[in-house]
Amino acid sequence: MMSSPDAFDETRAVDLAYQSIRDQILSGEQAGGEWLRESDLAASLGVSRTPIREALRRLAAEGLVRHERNRGAQVQSWTFKDLQDVYALRSLVEPWACGLAAAGGRADLETLTRLADEMDAAATPPRPDLDTLTDLNSRFHDAILEATGNDRIRSMLASLVQLPFVWRTFSHYNPEELRRSLAHHHELVDALRAGNQTWAESVMRAHIQSAWTSVRRESGC
Amino acid sequence: MMSSPDAFDETRAVDLAYQSIRDQILSGEQAGGEWLRESDLAASLGVSRTPIREALRRLAAEGLVRHERNRGAQVQSWTFKDLQDVYALRSLVEPWACGLAAAGGRADLETLTRLADEMDAAATPPRPDLDTLTDLNSRFHDAILEATGNDRIRSMLASLVQLPFVWRTFSHYNPEELRRSLAHHHELVDALRAGNQTWAESVMRAHIQSAWTSVRRESGC
DNA sequence: ATCTTTCATATTGCATACAACTCGTGAATG
DNA sequence: CATTCACGAGTTGTATGCAATATGAAAGAT
């Protein structure tokens, strides 16, 4: 699951540990609140505690695990308020970034188009492939952020989107919502191609608000 | 310099290392691009390489140092574009957060008033005390973010404001700009007390744009 | 002379051993 | 019976030794 962005070298013990633990968390294999014992992880991955510790600290910095002094790390557990906070921030920053990308005219329209098409394909099989959709979706959004030329936005939002990951946003969509979400992506490409800042910003805002509505409904709050 | 937020325990080697290295960077003692050798730091702080490594990784996650595989860590060096990116993001997020705080009405007005007054005091001596001003300022801004109730905003912006730290924003102000900046703080408290979202948001935006103008002028760009 | 190869050195990456700390358990005490 | 204290098992924190990797300079080939 979750293709590895080549910055990681599987032969390195730290990266192996980081990815493995991260996948366990994002896949829901490890429930929130679960303790992550260094010895256990080290034994199960066949490395020593040293790289495990480093991986855990990295994950703590990203907010995926909670670190307690002299007690260890546990999988971060999320509340509805966390989701609320994340979507509030995303719906402020990401539309703005999208507008910036449109105004700058540096977006990689070929890649964006390809990603949007691939998402269409991943959605059509008898059963939509949620893992692939999630992966393509995050790459689509990241490609837009990249086009802003402001790398700080990317790293800031990167840690934000991990929570929706855990909640598996796409599994909350009904067929019509999924179709609408995919349509938004194509509309975003058009807005970027037109270089229309307001249009791009508005579509992205609608896109996120729409997602938030689905997530909120499914959260039962 | 830089009062320690009690989350740190000076008896712990990691925290000692983290704070020490961080202070060296923020104070400008270590120039950008300088290599941070684990052995050197370990020897100079009287601890082993293990906690040094952990501190360096933490600083890397916060963007203060740059880590290169199998080569080590060097002090992150900043360009004008980095400053530009940071201020662009701050002037989007922080005014919004300030408006949120005003609408929420949960701001700790006593503390904010006290901080603003203390900054006035720190600015009046023959020579303004820039270190104290910087410290009080970051606490003032953080107190506003806290009032939003959205903890993610705080941690997000925390990593952003470190760069202006390095650039020692206050040393760029001329006397009139300093006076205006302090006046903004008092006006922010009034806007928050009035619960006026638009007012609070606007003052904060003006506050940041004003700072950006000073910084840009002094950067010679 | 210039380019390539080899090797010494410095540095990080990882494994392991030991120290310090946390917390539950149970005995001792009021 | 309730409370406190002490202790021991389990876990994290730190130190140290060794392996792997990168860099630069010297030697050799073209």
- The segments of chain B whose pLDDT lies below 70 read 1-7
Contact A85 B58 (CB under 8 A): no
Give the pLDDT of residue B10. Answer: 75
B2 touches chain A (CB under 8 A): no
User: Residues A48, B47: contact at Cβ < 8 Å?
Assistant: no
CA A72 to C1' D1 (Å) is 36
Which of A104, A142, A85 shows the shortest CA–CA distance to B93? A85
Q: Write out pLDDT tens, residues B67-123.
A: 999 999 999 999 999 999 999 999 999 999 999 999 999 999 999 999 999 999 999
pLDDT at residue A2 above 60? no
Which of B136, B137, B159 shows the shortest CA–CA distance to B76? B159
Contact B150 A57 (CB under 8 A): no
Query: Looking at the DSSP assignment, which residues form a beta bridge with residue A66?
Result: A74
Give the pLDDT of residue A7. Answer: 64
Burial A51-90 (b: 16+ CB within 10 A, else e): bbbbbbbbbbbebbbbeeeeeebbbbeeeeebbbbbbbbb
Radius of gyration of chain B (CA): 18
Which residue, counting CA atoms, is nearest to the C1' of nucleotide C20? A70
Q: Write out pLDDT tens, residues A28-75.
A: 899 999 999 999 999 999 999 999 999 999 999 999 999 999 999 999
Distance from CA of B148 to the nearest CA of A (A): 10
B130 touches chain A (CB under 8 A): no
Distance from CA of B125 to the nearest CA of A (A): 37
Closest chain B residue to A157, measured at CA: B156
Contacts of A61 in chain B (CB under 8 A): 58, 61-62
Which of B63, B82, B83, B84 shows the shortest CA–CA distance to B73? B63
Q: What does the block give as tokens for A145? A: 């952020």
Give the pLDDT of residue B3. Answer: 36
Beta-carbon contacts of B69 under 8 Å, excluding residues fewer than 6 positions away, are A9, A12
CA B55 to C1' D19 (Å) is 23
Using CA atoms, how far residue B147 sits from A44, A134, B6, B74, B100, in Å, is 43, 34, 20, 36, 8
Q: Write out pLDDT tens, residues A91-131.
A: 999 999 999 999 999 999 999 999 999 999 999 878 888 88
Distance from CA of A60 to the nearest CA of B (A): 10
Task: Give the nearest partner residue to B150 out of A57, A85, A155, using CB atoms.
Answer: A85
Task: Give the nearest partner residue to A86 out of B69, B92, B152, using CB atoms.
Answer: B152
Distance from CA of B147 to the nearest CA of A (A): 13
Which residue, counting CA atoms, is nearest to the C1' of nucleotide D21? B70
Contact A152 B69 (CB under 8 A): no
Q: What angle do CA B60, A93, B177 make, to 5 degrees?
A: 80
Work out whether strand B72-75 and strand A65-68 pair parallel, antiparallel, or are unpaired. unpaired
DSSP for A19-58, written as a single string: HHHHHHHHTTSS-TT-EE-HHHHHHHHTS-HHHHHHHHHH
Q: Write out pLDDT tens, residues A123-171.
A: 987 888 888 999 999 999 999 999 999 999 998 898 888 887 777 888 8
Which residue, counting CA atoms, is nearest to the C1' of nucleotide C23? A71
CA A129 to C1' C13 (Å) is 38
Chain D nucleotides reached by a protein CB under 7 Å: 11-17, 21-23
